[in-house]
Structure formats: C-alpha cells, structure tokens
Chains A and B, each alone.
Chain A
Amino acid sequence: MPRRLVLAALAAALLALLIAAPSTFADTFTPESGGSQNADDIDTLYKVTLYVAIVIFLIVEGTLVWSLVRHRARRGGAEAVQIRGNTPLELGWTVAAALILVVLTVVTFLYLDDIENPPESGANGLQASQTSFASIDQPNPPGDRPYLRIGVNGQQYLWRYDYPGEQRLFSYYEMVVPVDTTVVLEVTASDVIHSWWIPKLGGKVDGVPGHVNETWFKIPASKAGTTFHGQCAELCGSGHADMRAEVRAVTPAQFEAWAEEHRAAIEEAGELLSEQRERRAGDEER
C-alpha cells in the first residue's frame, strides 16, 4: 500500500477515535460529576483544557517523533544542518505558548464564579422556616429561598455534621440533605488536617484545625434517593483509608421528617443522659 494511503488511514482512525472518545470513555478521561452544578462546571472546564492539551500534545510529540524518524543518521545521508537558532521562530513559539495560557486564564475566570459561589435554592427545595436551618453570621446565597448550612468537622477517622437550628441536630458518617436546595458546608477539623471530598458533588476542601473552609453543592431534584460516596483526601493517620463519607439526597419532605425524628431522638437521648446524671448525683449525695 502506498505510504500516503497508510498515513491517511492512520489520520482517519485517529480522528474517529478522538470523536468517539468523549462519549465512550467520558469517565476515563474526565473528573467525576453529575451530582451538583459546580462539579459539572469543573468537568466542563477540565474538558476545555483537555482539548487544548490534546492539540499541543499531538503537535509536540508528533514533531519529536517525526524528527527522530526522519533525521536518523544514514550512510550517505545529508549532513546535519549547522543552525544555532532562529530568532523569529523562537519568539513565535514563546508568544504562542503565552497566548494559549491567556486563553486558559480567560476560560477559567468565565467558569470560576459559577463554581465558587452557591446559587439560589430551587423552587422545590427546602420549604422549612429560615430559623430552623439558617446561620446568623455568614453571608447567604442569593435569593430569599431557604437553604441549608451544615458544619462539617473532620476527626480521626470520621466526619461529624452539625445542622443549624435551635434544637440540636447532628449526625456522623452519613449526611442527609434535601434535593434542589443549596447546601453550604463549613468544613473544619478538630485534630489533624482532613479533606472533605465527594467527587460527584464538586471539589475537595481541606478541614484545617483553627480554620473554616467553605464549599457548597446543590443536588438536582432528579437525584432524590441517591447516595454519593467519598473518602478523606488528606493523609490523617493510620485509619485514613477507612475515613469515608456518604451524602444521601432525599426529597425536602423526607428531609424534614428525618430532621424532626433525629432531633427528637437526640433530645430524648440527652434527657436520658441528664436523668442518669441526676440519679447518680442523688446516689452520691445519699
């Protein structure tokens, strides 16, 4: 077969692969996403840079391999060309490299706002009164709709979640959240540094003792009933591998029922505890 045909076939195969790849291997070549808008935006931003990267990769590696094959020393081959540089060419590729980075910068800042700042909750989100789930001193997401602010505290080797409100509500390991509601997380840690990360719900944030780090997610209504998994992403000791976390998305109604039930259970446990304490104190007095 003539060489040109082979090359054309190779090019066509490569092109087909490139076109087919995004759909078939989407998960192989891109970050996790699908649970929240910020994760999806990061995914898109990553894809944009990946496409730029693939083009640069092909050009650089292609020229490298081509030079290696084409200019292999042969008996009676051409003399090596004694050039020491080419200023216009060198300036050209310097400017080109810089321009690509400018493009990447612009694209990043276009997406940044949507990734970083929490949006308003959806119309079908949490309907409970502001007082039971709002925080006093932190800036709120835009809009008047209720949202949920949860304190996340990393401890060797588990996560604790504190829900706001007058009555105490907290849980460990499994975080229950309503769908279509903006959930703002305030992440910290009480012993060593941990890192909160549920891949499908967006980027990770470190929980650092003495600091509060913020992130958010908003799970679409269609995902009600889904459980998202994650794992601590900062080496935190011998139990680091077992420091897992789950986020269970439920409908707002289910969430409120869960919250009520848990609040009651926590209160009951608290009362039981103080009763026992009183009894013990009474025993000691006698």
Chain B
Amino acid sequence: MEARTAAKAARPEIVLHGVRAPQRGWLTWLTTTDHKKIGILYLFATFLFFILGGVEALLMRLQLAQPNNTLINPETYNGLVTIHGTTMVFLFMVPVWAGIGNYFLPLMIGARDMAFPRLNALSFWLLLFGGIAFYVSIFFEPPQAGWTMYPPLSDDVFSPGGGVDAWIFLIHLTGLSSLIGAVNFVATIHNMRAPGMSWGRMPLFVWTLLVYSYLLIVALPAVAAAVTMLLTDRHFGTAFFDPAGGGDPLLWQHLFWFFGHPEVYIMVLPAFGVISEVLPVFARKPIFGYKAIAASTVAIAFLGLLVWAHHMFTTPTATVVLAFFMLSSFTIAVPTGIKIFNWIATLWRGQIVYKTPLYFAVALPALFTIGGISGVILAIFPVDWQLHDTYFVVAHFHYVLFGGAVFALFAALYYWFPKMSGRMMSESLGKVSFWLMFVGFNVTFLVQHSAGLSGMPRRIYDYSSELGVTEYNLISTIGAFILGIGVLVTCVNLIHSLKNGKKAGNDPWQGNTLEWFTTSPPPPNNFDVIPRVRSVEPMKDIRREVMARTVATETVAQPVAPRSL
C-alpha cells in the first residue's frame, strides 16, 4: 500500500494555473486586483466626483447670474468654492488619469497587469475613502477657506469647525493613494514593457504617465508635510503658520504651491499624452517630432518644479525673487509651445478622419493656446499685481484645466470606450456633446477674462451692479448650463452605448499602439501572445504584416469568405 501511494505521488501531474472559473457578482468588484477592473472603478468614482463638482459649479453660477441674488448665503458659497476646487483637483482630475492609466498602461506596453496588483487596489480604495471622508463634512460643516486653505483663515481660530480637518484627511488619503499609484506606474513602466519596446518606442501617453508619476512622488511630500503642520497647528498647539507664535503664514503658501504648481502639470501632462496618441491615429500620420514631444514632457515637469511662487506675486516678497519666478514661468512656455506646434504639424498634410475623439482632441491645442497665452501674461508679475485673484485667473486656469485636461479626457473616453466595453459610442451624440461643450465652455470662460480685467475679484458670492460685470456674469452662467448639458449628453451616450452600441471589434480606429492588438474588452490576462515591438507604432506594423500575408495567400489560393448562408 505504502509503495503504491508513493508511486502515485511521484507521478508527474499537470497542475492548472489561472484557469479558475471566472468569479461573478458585485463582490468581485470589491476584491479585484485586475488592473482593468480597478481602472473602471477609478473612472466610475472620479466621474461621479466630476458630476458633483460640476453641480457645485452650476450652483455658484446660478447665484452669480444676477446681482443681489439670495439663492446662496456667503457661508454656503465659500463652502461651494472650497468643495468645487478640492473635488475637481483631488478627486477628479488627478485620479482620473490614474484610472485611464490603470486600464491602458499595461495594455499599451504589452504587460499582463501592473507590477503590484494589490497595491493598485489599495490605491483605489484610499482614494474612494478620502473622497467620502471629505464629502461627509457637508453634513456637519464644510470647509470654507478655499481649496488652497491659506492659514490663518484655515486655523482653529478662524475655522473652528471640522471641515478643515476633513479636508486634511482627504489630502492625506488621496495623497497616499496617488503616491502608491505612482510607485506602481513607475515600477510597471520600468520593468514590464514588451520585448523590443525601448524608451524611444514607448507610446507618448506612457511617457506622460511616467512623468506624471515622478512628479507626484516629488511634489506630494510637500503638501503632506504642510497639512500635517496645519493639523498640529489646529489641534496640538504648534504655531508653524501663526505669526503670534513665531510662525509664518507664507510658509504654508510656499509648501502648498511647491506641490500645487507641479499638480497642474500632473493634471495636464497625461492630457497632452492623450492628444499625442489620438491625433496621429485620426490624421493617419505618424506623430510629428516624437523625441521633441517626449523631451518637452520631461522639460515641463522639471521646470514645473521651479515656478511655484508665481502664485504668490502679491505677497511681501523681494523683487529679485519675483523676477526669478517670472523668468522660470516664461521658460515653460517654450516646451509647451513645442508640443502645440508638433500637434499642428501632425495634422498638417494628413488625411484627417473626423470622428468624435478627434474633435475633443483638437479642442486641446485650440483652447490650451489661450490658457497658455494668458498664463504668460499672468507670469509678468507687475501685470499679475492687477490680475491676481480676479476672474482673469479663473478664466486662465479653466482654459488650462477644462479646455486642456477635461477635453482631452473626453477624447480619451471616446477613443478608448470601444476597447473597454467592446462597443462603439454614438458618433452623432458624441458630436452634439462636443459642440455643446465647446461652445458652452467658451461662452462661460471667455467673458471671465474681461470680468477680471474690469476688477472682479474671485470667491465673492455677490457682485454689486456698480462693478459693471453684471452682463459678463449672466453670459457666463448661460454658458455654464450649455456646458453642463453637453456633459450630460456624453453621460447619456455612455449609458446608451454600453448596451446598444455597435460592436467595436479589436481595432475600430486603426490604432498605433498595442491595446488594439487584443480583444475588446481584453481578457483577464490581456494578451495570450505579446508581440515583439519594432517601432513606436507596433500595431501599425502588425496590421501591415497581416495585410502582406493576406495578400500573399490571396494571390495563391484566393479563398472566398463565406458571407451569409
């Protein structure tokens, strides 16, 4: 008996790995470590926060539609200002790229998952709970000191409620989430690229995700330190930011903006990456100046670390410091300009196919140019003395962040939705949504430049009619609702296409990158075979090869495809 058992155990067996029956039910979404499912969770959560932030913006616009409006009181308005800014930055624009990156980074570099799948799940849940911890503050007392949370206004004397603490909690949780996510992205990009994918063959979106991750790792500790100091100032008797105790309110501003300005590039660089992916596909042309675009991404990130005090031009600061930060801010215009010129050159002499992703992608160079130019104007510090903290600045950063990042995000959504769902989104609804958003956006924010130039400061719940900005505000409010309807049309399109869209197939757009090589939606392991990468457009090579083989077989055997019976 014993001998037989031993013989049985020694017999070679085939052990099955990874072909477990796929789990079903909502619980799988809670326990998943699949980068694609986590990506979807990210996108779902951040889009909800986007809608919330949008509703907050519309409430503010309603209040400002006419002078002496009593819809919203000053406290609520300041709360809305704070929650809108915080939501859009920390709960939408930064993590939404983590969502898109989660889904597409492994697919684009030909990997089967992220480097640390469980860490990946952790970074999503930290984000979600950070958001919840922040949003519950609306049930007791939301923070009212603006998303920049300048002390002394945000300290325990002037903001005794718990809202600021909820905000600090949010910064810590989402910061940790971003930090873990960034480490994961970096490890994945450095180690898990497909064979043959050298740095010079990496998709430009992946380049921007790499730089996004490094920027997060460099910038986040500053804000983590700052909010911790604020927390101890508020509750444990320290005086980092309290001049009465030997502290300095300006210390906060330096720490906050040392993080805050790179944060702008954290939000906008992946958007640039999306444009660099989408434009060549729809222009049927290779990207113009691949190396220049990749290098300018790195240059923008580096320079972006050196410009923080241009948010502080009106503080008591020596002229030589102001001059330094003006010049460093100027220099960023060069690599940014290079990108825009390269994108236009990519379109030039192409065969531009007018699909919805292209519409949204082209909006970025069109609108970011305006935001970039107004940025250069604001960098001139004597001019900033007039424009700082006015609606000119509000217009500027909405042109950068909405005109740039959000339009690019919508391009990404329309471009990659077929891959994620296996179905196409409606083109007609997409174009309607685009035009509503594009027109609505410009109607909302173009006049805000003029409002700011007329002396309209930010973050005020009611402007007297004597200021002469009543018409601007009404126009802006009307535009905001057009914009809101545009976003709504895309939401409808999303939900409708999920069930009823046309089947997409693997490669509906004739893409250039590896995510189009696998099925739509991709299987849990992404690729059964990982192709060898020979250029920056591996999918184009594969299509060409398949074409060559098909033509070769056709000339020999001429098979007739069975069409329908």
Q: Given that A60-B344, A199-B455, A211-B250 are known contacts, is A84 also in contact with B288, CB under 8 Å in the complex?
A: yes
The contact sample of 10 A-B pairs, CB cut-off 8 A, is: A31-B386, A82-B285, A97-B338, A206-B314, A211-B250, A211-B315, A229-B466, A235-B459, A237-B158, A241-B461
A57 near B369 (CB under 8 angstroms)? yes
Which residues of chain B come closer than 8 Å to A195, judged between CB atoms? Answer: 314, 388-389
Which residues of chain A come closer than 8 Å to B145, judged between CB atoms? Answer: 235
A232 at interface (Cβ–Cβ under 8 A)?
Answer: yes
Complex interface residues of chain B between 427 and 484 (CB less than 8 A to chain A): 450, 453-455, 457-462, 466
Min CB distance, A153 to chain B, in Å? 14
A236 near B341 (CB under 8 angstroms)? no
0/1 string, B360-391, CB within 8 A of A gives 1: 00100110011001101100111111111110
Interface stretch, picked from B15-23, B106-114, B216-224, B325-333, is: B325-333
Complex interface residues of chain A between 60 and 112 (CB less than 8 A to chain B): 60-61, 63-64, 67-68, 71-74, 77-86, 89-90, 93-94, 97-98, 101, 104-105, 108-109, 111-112
Which residue on B lies nearest to A81, using beta carbons?
A: B349
Min CB distance, B264 to chain A, in Å? 19
Interface residues of A (CB under 8 A from B): 27-32, 39, 41-42, 45-46, 49-50, 53, 56-57, 60-61, 63-64, 67-68, 71-74, 77-86, 89-90, 93-94, 97-98, 101, 104-105, 108-109, 111-112, 115-116, 156, 191-193, 195, 197, 199, 202-206, 208-214, 229-241
B330 near A104 (CB under 8 angstroms)? yes
Give complex CA distance A57, B338 in Å: 15
Which residues of chain B come closer than 8 Å to A60, judged between CB atoms? Answer: 340-341, 344, 365, 369
Partner of A80, one of B283, B292, B362, B388: B283
Which residues of chain B come closer than 8 Å to A68, judged between CB atoms? Answer: 347, 352, 362
B338 near A94 (CB under 8 angstroms)? yes
Partner of A235, one of B153, B348, B383, B384: B153
Min CB distance, B315 to chain A, in Å? 5
Q: Given that A31-B453, A101-B333, A203-B385 are known contacts, is A231 also in contact with B249, CB under 8 Å in the complex?
A: no
Min CB distance, A229 to chain B, in Å? 7
A45 near B383 (CB under 8 angstroms)? yes
B156 at interface (Cβ–Cβ under 8 A)?
Answer: no
B354 at interface (Cβ–Cβ under 8 A)?
Answer: yes
Partner of A202, one of B352, B385, B458: B385
Give complex CA distance A73, B186 in Å: 38
What is the count of residue pairs linking A and B with beta-carbon distances less than 8 angstroms? Answer: 249
Give complex CA distance A193, B238 in Å: 19
B349 near A97 (CB under 8 angstroms)? no
Q: Given that A53-B377, A203-B314 are known contacts, is A240 also in contact with B250, CB under 8 Å in the complex?
A: no
A238 near B144 (CB under 8 angstroms)? yes
Min CB distance, A205 to chain B, in Å? 6
Min CB distance, B316 to chain A, in Å? 4
> Contact residue range for chain B?
35 or more
Min CB distance, B187 to chain A, in Å? 31
Min CB distance, A191 to chain B, in Å? 7
Which residues of chain A come closer than 8 Å to B387, judged between CB atoms? Answer: 31
Which residue on A lies nearest to B319, using beta carbons?
A: A116
Which residues of chain B come closer than 8 Å to A192, judged between CB atoms? Answer: 150, 152-153, 158
B350 at interface (Cβ–Cβ under 8 A)?
Answer: yes
Complex interface residues of chain B between 6 and 40 (CB less than 8 A to chain A): none
Min CB distance, B446 to chain A, in Å? 11
Give complex CA distance A230, B457 in Å: 10
Give complex CA distance A203, B322 in Å: 14
Give complex CA distance A93, B353 in Å: 27
Give complex CA distance A232, B457 in Å: 8
Q: Given that A60-B344, A80-B283, A81-B350 are known contacts, is A32 also in contact with B78, CB under 8 Å in the complex?
A: no
Which residue on B lies nearest to A215, using beta carbons?
A: B385
Which residues of chain A come closer than 8 Å to B47, judged between CB atoms? Answer: none
Partner of B354, one of A73, A77, A205: A73
B286 near A236 (CB under 8 angstroms)? no
Q: Given that A29-B450, A80-B349, A235-B145 are known contacts, is A193 also in contact with B344, CB under 8 Å in the complex?
A: no
B337 at interface (Cβ–Cβ under 8 A)?
Answer: yes
B289 at interface (Cβ–Cβ under 8 A)?
Answer: yes
Give complex CA distance A232, B351 in Å: 53
Give complex CA distance A151, B93 in Å: 43
Which residues of chain A come closer than 8 Å to B353, judged between CB atoms? Answer: 73
Min CB distance, B107 to chain A, in Å? 24
Closest 3 CB pairs of A and B: A203-B385, A210-B243, A199-B455
Give complex CA distance A213, B459 in Å: 22
Give complex CA distance A213, B316 in Å: 5
Min CB distance, B204 to chain A, in Å? 13
B307 at interface (Cβ–Cβ under 8 A)?
Answer: no
Q: Given that A57-B369, A192-B158 are known contacts, is A212 also in contact with B316, CB under 8 Å in the complex?
A: yes
Min CB distance, B317 to chain A, in Å? 9
B389 near A28 (CB under 8 angstroms)? no
Which residue on B lies nearest to A85, using beta carbons?
A: B289
B385 near A64 (CB under 8 angstroms)? no
Min CB distance, A111 to chain B, in Å? 7
Which residues of chain A come closer than 8 Å to B206, judged between CB atoms? Answer: none
A104 near B373 (CB under 8 angstroms)? no
Give complex CA distance A46, B390 in Å: 15
Complex interface residues of chain B between 89 and 116 (CB less than 8 A to chain A): none
A94 near B334 (CB under 8 angstroms)? yes
B450 near A28 (CB under 8 angstroms)? yes
B146 at interface (Cβ–Cβ under 8 A)?
Answer: yes
Give complex CA distance A234, B289 in Å: 43
Partner of A67, one of B78, B81, B287, B348: B348
B362 near A108 (CB under 8 angstroms)? no
Which residues of chain A come closer than 8 Å to B158, judged between CB atoms? Answer: 156, 191-192, 237
B383 near A42 (CB under 8 angstroms)? yes
B286 near A83 (CB under 8 angstroms)? yes
Which residue on A lies nearest to B466, using beta carbons?
A: A229
Which residues of chain B come closer than 8 Å to A202, judged between CB atoms? Answer: 385-386
Q: Given that A42-B383, A90-B292, A211-B250 are known contacts, is A61 also in contact with B388, CB under 8 Å in the complex?
A: no
B334 near A101 (CB under 8 angstroms)? yes
B75 at interface (Cβ–Cβ under 8 A)?
Answer: yes
Give complex CA distance A203, B352 in Å: 47
B541 at interface (Cβ–Cβ under 8 A)?
Answer: no
In the complex, given contacts A83-B286, A209-B243, A241-B461, what are 12 additional A-B residue pairs having Cβ atoms less than 8 angstroms apart?
A56-B373, A71-B348, A80-B285, A90-B341, A101-B333, A109-B323, A112-B382, A204-B388, A208-B316, A213-B316, A238-B75, A238-B144
Give complex CA distance A116, B322 in Å: 12
Q: Given that A32-B454, A195-B314 are known contacts, is A241 also in contact with B288, CB under 8 Å in the complex?
A: no
Min CB distance, B201 to chain A, in Å? 13
A116 near B338 (CB under 8 angstroms)? no
Which residues of chain A come closer than 8 Å to B284, judged between CB atoms? Answer: 73, 80
B291 at interface (Cβ–Cβ under 8 A)?
Answer: yes
B74 at interface (Cβ–Cβ under 8 A)?
Answer: yes
B334 near A203 (CB under 8 angstroms)? no
Partner of A98, one of B319, B326, B334: B334
Which residues of chain A come closer than 8 Å to B462, judged between CB atoms? Answer: 241
Q: Given that A101-B331, A204-B385 are known contacts, is A28 also in contact with B315, CB under 8 Å in the complex?
A: no
A53 near B288 (CB under 8 angstroms)? no
